[in-house]
Copies of this chain bind each other. A is one copy, B any other.
Amino acid sequence: MNKIVFLIQTSDQKGLLADITSYFYTKGFNILHCQQHTDSRAKKYYMRLELDMKDLSCSRGDLKSDFAKFAEPRKLDWSCNFTDNIQRVAIMASKTSHCVYDLIMRQKEEDIRCEIPLMISNHPDLEHIADQFKIPFYYLPVTKETKKQQEQQVLEILQRHHIDLVVMARYMQILTSDFIDPYAGRIINIHHAFLPAFQGANPYLRAYQRGVKMIGATAHYATEDLDQGPIIEQDVYRVNHELTPVGLKKVGKDVERIVLSRAVQAHLEHRVIISGNKTVVFSNEH
């Protein structure tokens, strides 16, 4: 069933729920699903609405411009998404393959609903996986000196292919704001630690050295500040003294795979609202 999904955030106001739902009822829409969150500390209100697309009696453009008029006096920050619009996802990776394999597999399984029109890497190592699944592969090496130029090349490719979401599936490069800004809120990164613990390099080695009893992974939106962006999903796995750094890395793969895929799925299903440095992630009710 095709749906229209509205994501809305605004300051908390009395009567807003009745107001918004009445708006859609008047327009002839059946509200399939309505999720909300009120942050009473920040006095902010968040909403996700699912409408049945077959109730749409005007053009998509008209729906948006009409809702814009409704939203403007109420100071709603909103987006309107159509689920028949299959999103286009670019995978960026370096040498590590497990997250790449996993994302492609889930897309094939239709657990993640999107197209993957291309893969970009600063190393040639994963080209065989792209080939195997007939995904165009762009090898764009990068050095300190060529970083600016390489980022521009990547950006150009992303724009040319109308990419909606960039997934950094263990792409081991720090990005500049020139790259991030045009895709703000549309780049998901996986960090192989339970942030804010073990930010930066070699988290498994540092977890081993500290003797932690659980290791984790964190998927977050990329921002200019390394490993500081809004967290979408985290999970952990119990470990003990028996595991070496190599062993931790191995068992960590499953956590990384699952955390990244859940975050990508939530984003693609229009279940995430970014608010400052935090996220509201609505649950998947199906």
Q: Which residues of A contact B (CB under 8 A)?
A: 14-15, 17-19, 21-22, 24-25, 30-41, 97-98, 101-102, 105, 108-109, 111, 132-133, 194-198, 210-214, 216, 230-236, 238, 240-244, 246-247, 250, 253-254, 258, 277-281, 283-286
- Minimum distance in angstroms from A12 CB to a CB of chain B: 9
Hey, which chain B residues are within 8 Å of A109, CB to CB?
97-98, 101, 253
Contact at A280–B241, with CB atoms within 8 Å? yes
Contact at A25–B32, with CB atoms within 8 Å? no
Copies in the complex: 4
The one of B17, B231, B286 in contact with A212, judged by C-beta atoms closer than 8 angstroms, is: B231
Query: Chain A interface mostly helix, strand, loop or mixed?
Result: mixed
Please, how many angstroms separate the alpha-carbon atoms of A91 and B106 in the complex? 20
Beyond A196-B197, A197-B197, is A214–B240 a contact (Cβ under 8 Å)?
A: no
Please, how many angstroms separate the alpha-carbon atoms of A24 and B16 in the complex? 12
Inter-chain pairs besides A97-B108, A101-B105, 4 sampled, C-beta below 8 Å: A21-B21, A109-B253, A241-B280, A246-B286
Contact at A22–B18, with CB atoms within 8 Å? yes
- Minimum distance in angstroms from A16 CB to a CB of chain B: 8
The one of B197, B240, B253 in contact with A111, judged by C-beta atoms closer than 8 angstroms, is: B253
What are 7 A-B residue pairs whose CB atoms fall within 8 Å in the complex? A17-B21, A17-B34, A111-B253, A194-B194, A213-B233, A214-B216, A243-B285
